[in-house]
Amino acid sequence: MELILVNLIDGLVTGLLLFMLSAGLTLIFSMMGVLNFAHASFYMLGAYFAYQISIALGFWMGLLLAPLIVGVIGAGVERYGLRRVHQYGHVPELIFTFGLALLIEELVQFIWGKNQMPYSVPEVLDFTAFSIAGNSIPAFKIFMIFISIAIFIGLLFILTKTRVGMIIQAALSYPRTVEALGHNVPLIFMGVFGVGTALAGVAGVIAGPVLGTFPGMAFVLGSIVFVTIVIGGLGSLWGALVASLLIGWITTFAKSYNIAMSDILNGIGIATPENLGDSALRDLWTVTSPQIADILPYILMVLILIFRPAGLFGKRES
């Protein structure tokens, strides 16, 4: 029973981290129609910048400055890269961001090397907040939860309650009309891209100490972010939140409990074959949930695409 509570908290941390990445990606997609393959690379840049800054100025300055730098780089990429490529259509844009992802990974390896970086939790937060049945919840995880929730509320407020948010939302659906009304739509695009990548940078800053800061970190998280926004519905902030939490909890619970496939199959009335060793389906029968935990979101994505192609909260595009 206590373990369920612990898993709920763990899943929440994973889910909210995923949300910070997918929020930016889904905004960028809905606005520009660009699937930004390099999004997870900005997350990696956030972690590396924060590590470098934390050596000189401490963790908190890293948390403040690294996302800003990442955001400025992101805005620059939009202004001088994507905008030029945009006129040639979506495929060149896709290829551009794909190339950018590879470039950033090589660049990071070139500057910081291929080893793990000793980027760690600040001492102020390096203690156990509380324990549930012998499982300690580190204070840093509580901190992660608060940061992500604060960002979600802030984003939601800006998008729905402020003038800037209204213009952004209008530019989402009717960019031409907004432009005709005298607003600088390219500037809005650049701003959204910058903010989206800065969010990824924040995620990197607070995930780096926990999940490790190494050149493969973007690759490990990259694909799952796309899954999240597809499940949530492209362009929906709420969808991104719900899908992130869903994925966080599904993977956490699947890893925590050893649910064997044979139990499930027996449960629905299929008997285990006599000589399992020779059976062609042996792998299916012996699989356990921790082994497949990390591919469950992909299965969910396939199901969503079949039964609700627009995603959980998405509006079907005509």
Partner 1 sequence: MKNITKIGAVSALSLVIGASAAFAENIKIAFIDPLSGPFASTGTNGLHQFEFSADYMVNQNGGVLDGQMFEVVGFDNKISPKESLIQLQVAIDQGIRFIAQGNSSGVANALTEAIDKHNKRNPDSRVLFLNYAAVDPALTNDKCNFWHFRFDANADIKMDALTDVMVQNEDMKKVYIIGQDYSFGKAVAAAAVANLTAKRPDVEIVGNELHPIGKVKDFTPYARKIVASGADAVITGNWGADMLGLGKSIIDNGFTGPIYTYYAAGSGITGAFGESGKGVIRLIGEGQVNPPPTPEAAAFYTAYKEKYPDGNVDQTRISNVIGMLAQAINTAGTADDVVAVANALENMEFDSMWGSKLFMRPQDHQLIQDMHIQAHTNEGVTFTFDNSDYGMVVESTVKMASMDSPTTCEMKRP
135: number of Cβ within 10 Å:
15
Pick 172 or 296: Cβ nearer partner 1: 296
User: What residue ranges bind partner 1 (CB under 8 A)?
Assistant: 3, 6-7, 10, 13-14, 109, 113-120, 128, 131, 133-136, 138, 210-212, 214-216, 220-221, 224, 251-253, 255-256, 258, 288, 290-291, 293-295
Question: Strand, coil or helix: what is 30?
Answer: helix
Instruction: Provide, rounded to whole angstroms, the least separation between the CB of residue 248 and partner 1.
Output: 9
Q: How far apart are CA 67 and CA 65, in angstroms?
A: 6
Structure tokens at 95: 């290829």
Kindly state the tokens that stand for 196. 């989206």
Q: Considering the complex, what minimum distance in angstroms separates the CB of residue 135 from partner 1?
A: 6
Closest to partner 1 by CB, 189 vs 253, is: 253
The least CB distance from residue 64 to partner 1, in Å, is: 24
Residue closer to partner 1, measured from CB, 7 or 169: 7
Which of 10, 26, 15, 5 shows the shortest CA–CA distance to 248?
15
Q: Closer CB to partner 1, residue 12 or residue 31?
A: 12
What is the distance between the alpha carbons of residues 195 and 55, in angstroms, rounded to a whole number? Answer: 25
Give least dist CB 137 to partner 1, A.
9
Minimum CB separation of residue 118 from partner 1 in Å reads 4
How far apart CA 221 and CA 317 sit, in angstroms, is 27
d(CA 81, CA 97): 9
Cβ-based nearer residue to partner 1, 33 or 113: 113
Nearer to partner 1, 179 or 294 (CB): 294
Q: Which is nearer to partner 1, 21 or 70 (CB)?
A: 21
State the sign of the Cα–Cα–Cα–Cα dihedral 90, 96, 99, 101: negative
Q: Please state, as a whole number, how many other Cβ atoms lie within 10 Å of the Cβ of residue 172.
A: 17
The CA-CA-CA angle for residues 156, 206, 109, to 5°, reads 120
- Nearest distance from residue 176's CB to partner 1, in Å? 41
Nearest to 27 by CA among 242, 190, 180: 190
Closest distance to partner 1 from the beta carbon of 249 (Å): 11
